[in-house]
Amino acid sequence: MSQPHYAIEVEDIVKKFGEVLASNHVNFYVKKGEIHALLGENGAGKSTIMSMLSGIYKADSGVIRIHGNICRFRSPKEATELGIGMVHQNFRLVQTLTAIENIILGEKNNRWRGSSWMKKKKEEIEEIAERYGLRFPTTVPIWQLSVGEQQRVEIVKTLYRGADIIIFDEPTSVLTPGEAVQLFKTMKELKRNGKTMIITTHKLKEVMSVADHISVMRKGEMIAHLKREDTTVHEIAKLMVGRELTNGNEVMSHKNIGKPILEVNNLFVRSNHGMNALNNIDFDIHEHEIVGVAGVAGNGQKELAEVLTGLIPWNSGSVIYNQEFLSSPTVQELIDKGISHIPEDRMKSGLAGSLGIVDNLLIKTYRTNKRSKFGLLNKKSNQEWAKKLIELFDVRTNDLQSPVRQLSGGNQQKLLFAREVEQNPKLMIAVHPTQGLDVGATEAVHQMVVTLRNSGSGILLISEDLDEIMKLSDKILVLFNGRINGVVTREEADKDYIGQLMAGLTEKEGAVL
């Protein structure tokens, strides 16, 4: 029997992908006008539920009711017509079009788009933005907007199209702390206006600050429904992974910072557009030290990682590695010198998705005498070596030869760390190492980073997760517009202050750079 106070009722839903049971008789209920968090590990099944609610997948069996009516979506368009909108983690925006053009894209009954018609649409959109505190420049191309402004465009787009149920997928993963706070204010304003929201995220502290109710999935099953005031971050994390997690605040600085491994002086790097992506960068990394790099996406982090791993050259300045001046080094030369790399996109730049575990572990070492002889791979010994590595790094798989794209995100990342750490690197460049990972996989990656630091390596940790940066780093560089806008030690680390530096402020009083 349908309950009139529910906006969404998911009853006994089953969804299979081949032999994989992604949703196993799931029940999920969201009240009208509430903010509901749906949580779970990678592969728990929450994305499958969200995809069925937004019309991307069709359930094999079970019932979905929207506002009491049974719905069988055949496409995202049908979900939109029923008032369901989704704000994706990776924005669905055309970069060369303006905000208004993106919002009205695909609208029907618009054969004549004269100046008066466009003026009317502009007024409608700006009125929605103003009502919910979502202001942004409406007539400039999307690529000129900040990440936070682009997200506001996505939210207004769902509201303009009539959404009264909005799904937020990892909404704060690319925002500054200040932008995240503003988003939560917007969500609460939407709630006051009767909108219903579902949020999926791995940031449990944020869930506790904004959600009314919390549902937890594990291994395709719904295992708990909780009121926010009746639970804790610790209990939610335990429910998600099915075990106790270690205290995440136990990471301490190493007592004996060693000699410099990397010294970067007056570094200038130009982007593809001819602008300075990095402008007069100076910093160093020592043995037993994790140097964190904080900043909103697009402020030079990508170019910094690429220049230090040999993917792009620098235009001026100097890089000294292990007391040796580097001059236009290749990727292979830097690998041979002991620099490892955890790239931002593990499946695009780190792993070969169609190859198995053994081949992926061999990618950087297959030419060595240990791994091959006379141009032929040592198949038996390589398989034994791979088995030991996946046991050591707890990579969970039933088959060494299955394509690694079939592994969960957490297991893919642990496999990548296994390959890079096995080479005993002097320096590791780790870019967003836990992006998109659940709390259990994130804990495992953090332990690997700290263990590597404690063994004597230096680590450059680039992340948009400020909690992660503050937890792991011995010192923090804050990038803004390609410059280091501040350097903060572990003892000085303050989330609000670092957030101000990320936004371009140079002092706590609020001077703008």
Domain-embedded: residue 250: no
Residue 28: inside a domain = yes
Q: Do 87 and 218 have their domain in common?
A: yes
Taking alpha carbons only, the member of 407, 277, 422 closest to residue 346 is 407
Q: Is the same domain home to 358 and 334? A: no
Residues 73 and 13 in one domain: yes
Whether residue 249 is predicted with pLDDT greater than 80 in this model: the reply is no
Domain assignment present for 174: yes
Q: Are residues 269 and 380 in the same domain?
A: no
Statement to judge: residues 380 and 495 lie in one domain: no
CA torsion, points 29, 31, 37, 38, in degrees to nearest 10?
10
Q: Is the pLDDT of residue 241 over 50?
A: yes
> Is pTM beyond 0.85 here?
no
Domain boundary among 423, 441, 476: 423
* Share above pLDDT 70 across residues of the chain, in percent, rounded to a whole number: 94
The structural domain count of the chain equals: 3
Q: Does residue 507 surpass a pLDDT of 60?
A: no
Residue 374 is which amino acid?
F
Window from 110-114, 225-229, 292-296, 386-390 with minimum mean pLDDT: 110-114
CA distance 112 to 67: 35
Is pLDDT above 60 for 276? yes
Per residue in 86-131, pLDDT (tens digit) is 998 778 899 899 999 999 987 766 556 677 888 888 999 999 999 8
Q: Are 308 and 455 contained in the same domain?
A: yes
**Residue 513 in this model has a pLDDT that exceeds 50:** no
- Tell whether 233 and 281 lie within a shared domain: no
Could you tell me if residue 194 is inside a domain?
yes
Name the residue range of residue 484's domain.
259-338+425-508
Residue 253 covered by a domain? no
Of 370, 391, 423, the one marking the end of a domain is 423
E strands within 210-342? 213-218, 221-227, 260-270, 276-286, 289-294, 316-321, 324-325, 339-342
Please tell me what DSSP assigns to residue 98.
B
Q: What is the average pLDDT across 443-457? A: 91
Contact of 456 with 258, CB cutoff 8 Å: yes
Domain identity same for 179 and 267: no
Do 400 and 298 share a structural domain?
Answer: no
pLDDT of residue 339: 95
The average pLDDT across 369-386 equals 89
* Proportion of the chain above pLDDT 90, given as a percent: 51
CATH, residue 60: 3.40.50.300
- Contact at 8 Å (CB) between 214 and 194? no
- Asked whether residue 269 is domain-assigned, the answer is yes
Asked whether residue 193 falls in the same domain as residue 323, the answer is no
Report the pLDDT averaged over residues 372-385: 90
User: Is 251 among the domain residues?
Assistant: no
Instruction: Please report which helix (H) or strand (E) contains residue 85, including its range.
Output: strand 84-87
**Domain boundary residue among 241, 272, 292?**
241
Residue 454 falls inside a structural domain: yes
| Whether residue 142 is found in the same domain as residue 94 | yes
User: Looking at the structure, do residues 355 and 323 belong to the same domain, yes or no?
Assistant: no
